């Protein structure tokens, strides 16, 4: 079955970026001039996704507004003859009805956020994208994963090798080494201490899941950090289904932390010829002083 729907859990508070995120959704933080959420939505569309499902929460209305018309702004741009900007704004607005919003009305964890989308997803495989993980790739990572999903016919999570000291920040695989970028998962642990981590393969924010995960999430079992974890639900799903880890091709920026976010801004800025020209001499200068 085709992967047509993508779930974007966007209800998180973004406390790591306070005070910037006090009155602004963390998903709206810009990398150069585009909010994080837009990169993720563009990746989904470029991968063939037809329906976007935002699991949102209080204080996140900027996300809804971002993917909608802004009459005043559009009229002003039109009056000023700013056609290119106008087109850019129009292009990012999805066809009516292809974005659906639901709310996670309690902060019970990522597994719970995904469960909130169960009635919209229905009985079909679906993708989950965490906008914090921004991935620069020639072929969109979700597209790479959908191809693997179609070949393996099983749930897939994207993984990256992390230093052992960092395992407590991620969902970690119990699995053999990757072969051609793929490994069959034996078990999964959410945020284990380095001494308990079964490997250094960490889950990053791209998943393709089969709908049976909702039945497990229905149990609302609480795991690491007192939250309902998608990692735990997948670990239980392993009893009845195969799940694979996939090492994507691309560069991932962890925009959930300040250093990763700045690295993303730097990397994406340096790809823009106009910015590159101004930034490189400036950076050289900074480093020499």
Site string for ligand G1P, 14-53 (x = CB under 6 A): ----------------------------------------
Between 205 and 245, whose beta carbon lies closer to ligand G1P? 205
Between 77 and 131, whose beta carbon lies closer to ligand G1P? 131
Quick check: 104 binds ligand G1P (CB under 6 A)? no
Applying the rule CB under 6 A, the residues between 151 and 180 that interact with ligand G1P are 170-171
Between 238 and 279, whose beta carbon lies closer to ligand G1P? 238
Q: Which range binds ligand G1P by CB under 6 A, 39-47, 52-60, 126-134, 214-222?
A: 126-134
Quick check: 231 binds ligand G1P (CB under 6 A)? yes
Quick check: 130 binds ligand G1P (CB under 6 A)? yes
Q: Smallest gap, in angstroms, from Cβ of residue 52 to ligand G1P?
A: 19
Q: Smallest gap, in angstroms, from Cβ of residue 124 to ligand G1P?
A: 23
Q: Is 257 exposed, middle or buried (0-12, 13-18, 19+ CB in 10 A)?
A: middle
Applying the rule CB under 6 A, the residues between 173 and 212 that interact with ligand G1P are 190, 202-205
Q: Smallest gap, in angstroms, from Cβ of residue 223 to ligand G1P?
A: 9
Between 27 and 190, whose beta carbon lies closer to ligand G1P? 190
Contact residues toward ligand G1P (CB under 6 A) are: 110, 130, 132-133, 170-171, 190, 202-205, 229, 231, 256
């Amino acid at each position: 079955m085709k992967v047509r729907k993508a779930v974007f859990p966007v209800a998180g508070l973004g406390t790591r970026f306070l005070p910037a995120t006090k009155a602004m959704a963390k998903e709206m933080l810009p990398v150069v001039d585009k909010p994080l959420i837009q990169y993720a939505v563009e990746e989904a569309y470029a991968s063939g996704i037809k329906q976007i499902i935002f699991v949102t929460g209080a204080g996140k209305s900027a996300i809804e507004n971002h993917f909608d018309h802004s009459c005043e702004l559009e009229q002003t741009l039109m009056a000023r003859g700013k056609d290119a900007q106008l087109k850019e704004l129009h292009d990012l607005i999805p066809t009516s009805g292809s974005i659906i919003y639901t709310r996670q009305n309690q902060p019970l964890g990522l597994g719970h956020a995904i469960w909130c989308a169960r009635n919209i997803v229905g009985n079909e495989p679906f993708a989950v994208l965490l906008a914090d993980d921004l991935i620069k790739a020639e072929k969109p990572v979700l597209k790479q994963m959908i191809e693997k999903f179609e070949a393996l016919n099983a749930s897939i999570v994207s993984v990256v090798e992390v230093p052992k000291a960092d395992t407590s920040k991620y969902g970690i695989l119990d699995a053999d080494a990757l072969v051609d970028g793929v490994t069959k998962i034996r078990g999964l642990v959410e945020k284990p201490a380095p001494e308990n981590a079964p490997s250094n393969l960490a889950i990053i924010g791209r998943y393709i899941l089969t709908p049976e995960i909702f039945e497990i999430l229905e149990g609302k079992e609480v795991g690491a950090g007192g939250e309902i974890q998608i990692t735990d639900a997948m670990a239980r799903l392993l009893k009845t289904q195969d799940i694979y880890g996939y090492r994507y091709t691309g560069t991932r920026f962890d925009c959930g932390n300040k250093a990763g976010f700045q690295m993303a801004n730097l990397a994406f800025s340096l790809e823009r010829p106009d910015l590159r020209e101004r930034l490189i001499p400036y950076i050289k200068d900074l480093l020499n002083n």
